[in-house]
């Protein structure tokens, strides 16, 4: 069975030394509660829960899967008990508003815990995962009555939430949805339709499930402008706020999936189910985006967690597995062969995983600071800047970290060789589980269009400039530091090139709008590599400073520097290929007619 140790030392480095989390928390209203001692205790207990409670259920949950019995879904053995421990420990309420029963701690702290959950049992983590987003959507857009009815239950974890968007005939193009909401005499709505791919849509972990459902009113405008949002509980709350009569919503079937078998991915049938309008009529998509953006960050963390899990287990195997001798001569002469970690290509695979895990962690925690400021910052200008950065970074976190997370899990299998292909080692499960992260909550292509088209070009590049100015200031401040020249000089060139590349796409798009779609995925990946380069440069600066002050923990800081060098020298050059592909433009993609795709075989 795979093992896992929460990377607490690396978390402390990023949070405390590199990003200054203690001072960051102290500036937030109520942030003083997140003292270093409290944070340390939360991280250590979260690490224990992930390793001792969730990890042992990961493989068994994958192999057992979920069962649909008489319209009720049974989660794998042990999942319900683990969820009860999760609720008892107060984990769902960690970052929620005290007004609704939460502990009021910063959102970033909950995101750190989420990495540990994703690394040890992604399928289990999806049951409570969307509840936070559902609570946020209701907190921002719900009526006072809806907040009183649902929020405390979602916050404490006795009820869970879902997000019901996709339908059999439409995925991302939500303007095509057919689910209908008909007003009833009691001020509610009768919701009728079918939703698919609903994570945790039906299960036995919690006493009630709160569905947030997109549907159209009878007089709704066509397309996405006619979408409304409704809250539809599995059980109607009674006069005391407890689950009462069963609502007209049921799981029609469970999807047969490539991975995340331990999570119930449901076809949900709404048959005149009673629902209540959230927000204004026909403004449901804007309300749902509150939940969707939180979910996209969450999926990026899934990619990070799986990369970390893959790296840790591949590293342990590479240290133990004996195979051939090192090219430079025996490294373990007392053994019949050397451990495979001596071989350059195995080191390439391990370092790729390590760099993506550590770089991804820095990106998530940097983004988490923006979330804290948006939610709790006192200075309006600072909040506005953080919101701009958060908008820019969200598609990068979601898409880039899931793309490289999937790459990392594939490299993990490769380190194991044939054993990685065998179920017992658990590495192939990481690959299967990671594959969905590139699809749900908006595919990589959708995130790329959001980044390039909506966030960058529609703002005339102003959104991007907020971030590139920050990178420019860092490079300016360190340009005289000879010890950081290996990082700062290439970063400064890429930062300038990023702006030029953006301008070039914008100019082409004025003549041909297909240029945006043609460039978008390569643009997002380019942006992801440059963003990680900036963060690795900051990490290198901190590691250099620590080594200059003390020899304590020197091995950790040297490893951090060498990982940064590997990223710069072996992974960052990928930006060259992405740049060249962007500059090739739309013509190579659009020149082939739809009919000509099939030339050479009969359709």
Counting every residue, how long is the chain?
603
d(CA 234, CA 206): 11
Tell me 164's DSSP state: E
d(CA 390, CA 310): 28
Q: Which helix (H) or strand (E) holds 548?
A: helix 514-549
d(CA 434, CA 415): 17
d(CA 596, CA 401): 35
Q: What angle do CA 538, 539, 543 make, to 5 degrees?
A: 120
d(CA 138, CA 124): 24
Instruction: Please name which of 541, 540, 547 lies closest in space to residue 562, comparing C-alpha atoms.
Output: 540
Q: Which helix (H) or strand (E) holds 198?
A: strand 189-199
Q: Which helix (H) or strand (E) holds 475?
A: helix 462-478
d(CA 287, CA 48): 36
Q: 358, 441, 478, 515: which is the annotated catalytic residue?
A: 441
SS3 content of the chain, % helix, strand, coil (to 5): 65, 10, 25
Residue 131: C-alpha distances to residues 267, 303, 312 (Å): 19, 19, 29
Instruction: Please name which of 148, 119, 265 lies closest in space to residue 203, comparing C-alpha atoms.
Output: 265
Instruction: Please name which of 283, 275, 160 lies closest in space to residue 210, comparing C-alpha atoms.
Output: 160
203-226 as b/e, with b when 16 or more CB fall inside 10 Å?
bbbbebbbbbbbbbbeebeeebeb
Work out the burial of residue 82: count CB atoms within 10 Å of its CB; fewer than 13 is exposed, 13-18 middle, 19 or more buried: buried
Instruction: Please name which of 391, 587, 583 lies closest in space to residue 501, comparing C-alpha atoms.
Output: 583
Concerning whether 500 is annotated as a catalytic residue, the answer is no
Instruction: Please name which of 304, 205, 189 lies closest in space to residue 247, comparing C-alpha atoms.
Output: 189
152-184 as b/e, with b when 16 or more CB fall inside 10 Å?
bbbbbbebbbbbbbbbeeebeebeebebbbeee
- Cβ within 8 Å of residue 425, ≥6 positions away: 2, 313, 416, 419
Positions marked active-site: 441
């Amino acid at each position: 069975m795979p093992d896992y140790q929460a990377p607490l030392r690396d978390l402390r480095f990023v949070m405390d030394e590199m990003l200054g989390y203690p001072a960051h928390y102290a500036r937030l209203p109520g942030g003083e509660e997140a003292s270093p001692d409290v944070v340390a205790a939360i991280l250590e207990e979260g690490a224990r829960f992930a390793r001792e409670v969730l990890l042992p259920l990961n493989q068994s949950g994958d192999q057992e899967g979920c069962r649909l019995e008489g319209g009720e879904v049974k989660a794998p053995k042990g999942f319900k008990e683990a969820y009860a421990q999760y609720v008892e420990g107060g984990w769902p309420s960690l970052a929620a508003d005290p007004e609704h029963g939460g502990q009021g701690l910063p959102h970033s702290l909950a995101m750190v815990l989420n990495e540990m959950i994703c690394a040890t049992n992604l399928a289990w983590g999806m049951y409570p995962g969307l509840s936070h987003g559902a609570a946020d959507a209701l907190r921002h857009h719900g009526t006072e009555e809806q907040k009183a009815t649902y929020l405390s239950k979602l916050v404490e974890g006795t009820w869970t939430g879902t997000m019901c968007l996709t339908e059999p005939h439409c995925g991302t193009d939500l303007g095509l949805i057919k689910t209908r909401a008909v007003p009833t005499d009691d001020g509610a709505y009768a919701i009728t339709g079918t939703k698919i791919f609903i994570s945790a849509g039906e299960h036995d972990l919690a006493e009630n499930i709160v569905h947030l459902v997109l549907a159209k009113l009878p007089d709704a405008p066509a397309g996405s402008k006619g979408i409304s949002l409704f809250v539809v509980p599995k059980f109607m709350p009674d006069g005391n706020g407890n689950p009462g009569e069963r609502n007209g919503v049921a799981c029609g079937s469970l999807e047969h999936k490539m991975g995340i078998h331990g999570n119930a991915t449901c076809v949900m049938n709404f048959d005149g189910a009673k629902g209540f309008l959230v927000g204004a009529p026909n403004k449901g998509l804007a309300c749902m985006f509150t939940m969707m953006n939180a979910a996209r960050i969450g999926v990026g963390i899934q990619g990070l967690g799986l990369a970390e899990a893959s790296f840790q287990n591949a590293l342990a195997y590479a240290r133990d597995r004996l195979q051939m001798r090192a090219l430079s001569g025996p490294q373990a002469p007392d053994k019949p062969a050397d451990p495979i970690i001596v071989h350059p290509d195995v080191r390439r695979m391990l370092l790729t995983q390590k760099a993506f895990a550590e770089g991804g962690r820095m990106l998530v925690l940097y983004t988490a600071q923006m979330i804290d400021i948006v939610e709790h910052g006192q200075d309006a200008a600072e909040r506005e800047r953080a919101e701009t950065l958060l908008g820019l970074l969200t598609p990068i976190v979601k898409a880039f970290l899931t793309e490289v997370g999937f790459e990392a899990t594939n490299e993990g299998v490769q380190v194991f060789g044939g054993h990685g292909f065998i179920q017992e080692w658990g590495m192939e499960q990481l690959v299967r589980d990671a594959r969905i992260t590139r699809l749900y909550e908006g595919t990589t292509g959708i995130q790329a269009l959001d980044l390039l088209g909506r966030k960058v070009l529609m703002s005339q590049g102003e959104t991007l400039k907020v971030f590139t100015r920050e990178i420019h200031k860092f490079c300016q401040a360190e340009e005289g530091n000879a010890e950081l020249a290996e990082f700062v000089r290439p970063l400064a060139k890429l930062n300038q090139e990023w702006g030029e590349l953006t301008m070039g796409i914008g100019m082409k798009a004025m003549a041909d709008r297909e240029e945006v779609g043609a460039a978008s995925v390569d643009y997002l990946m380019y942006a992801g590599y440059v963003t990680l380069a900036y963060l690795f440069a900051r990490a290198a600066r901190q590691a250099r400073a620590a080594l200059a002050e003390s020899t304590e923990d020197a091995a950790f800081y040297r490893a951090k520097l060498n990982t940064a060098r590997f990223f710069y020298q072996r992974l960052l050059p990928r930006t060259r290929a992405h740049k060249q592909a962007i500059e090739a433009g739309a013509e190579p993609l659009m020149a082939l007619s739809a009919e000509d795709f099939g030339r050479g075989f009969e359709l």
